[in-house]
Amino acid sequence: MVSKSAPSTDDTRDVILDAANRLFARYGYRKTTVDDLAREAGIGKGSVYLHFPSKQEVALSLIDRVNVELQEQLRAILREGSSPELRLRKMLEARVLVRFDAVQHFTESLDDIFADLRPQIMERREGYHRVEAQLFATLLEEARANEQMQFDSAQNAAYSLLIATASLLPYSLSAQQLGDRDEIIRKVRRLAELMLRGLLSR
């Protein structure tokens, strides 16, 4: 937290989100107030409100940030030189693990966040999934053009992949499941295996 005196707008936003991340882990979402956020971020309460109208917005923006990070990782994998099969495996794992790693340190806050913001999170999810579907469809189309995979519609196949792995995302996991990263990895790998067998050309 260098140059607290005059950070740029984007920096302040991230400083607040980082503070929220720490406080949600330490005290939980419910107990954290905007005052706490300001103190932890080392800025005035007014500055927090300049960026976020409420604690709810802070939590939703944290979720947005994880999704932007995920999309960047998916694009990076998409550009790799490896086989479509390997890239698809990696993309499916990233889709699950980037989100898992982002929240697993504040398991208890998750229940509170979902209790408070379920409808808003559901709405945003559709936007996230649209972007991801586009990235998966790009890979699928490339693999089909090379006759490595076969399916009717790349868009539909991409959505099937997303639907199939969606229940491994934090929203659908219990605190106990969030405690066992290795088990989540095994599950996503088995799913990827099954669906790849379904997609690969015969």
Residue 132 CB neighbours (<10 A): 22
The footprint of a copy of itself on residues 174-193 (CB under 8 A) is 174-175, 187, 190-191, 193
Work out the angle at residue 139's Cα, subtended by the Cα atoms of residues 142 and 167, and round it to the nearest 5 degrees: 150
Q: Is 196 in the site for a copy of itself (CB under 8 A)?
A: yes
- Nearest CA to 99 out of 49, 167, 150, 169 is that of 169
* Member of 39, 65, 85, 114 binding a copy of itself (CB under 8 A): 114
* Member of 68, 76, 86, 122 binding a copy of itself (CB under 8 A): 122
- Nearest CA to 24 out of 70, 72, 61 is that of 61
Q: Which amino acid is at 38?
A: A
The site for a copy of itself, by CB under 8 A, has a size of 36
CA distances from 173 to 87, 107, 111, 180 (A): 25, 10, 10, 10
Q: Is 123 in the site for a copy of itself (CB under 8 A)?
A: yes
* Member of 156, 179, 180, 181 binding a copy of itself (CB under 8 A): 156
Q: Is 83 in the site for a copy of itself (CB under 8 A)?
A: no
Chain contacts with a copy of itself (rule: CB under 8 A)? 111, 114-116, 118-119, 122-123, 125-126, 151, 156-157, 159-160, 163-168, 171-172, 174-175, 187, 190-191, 193-199, 202
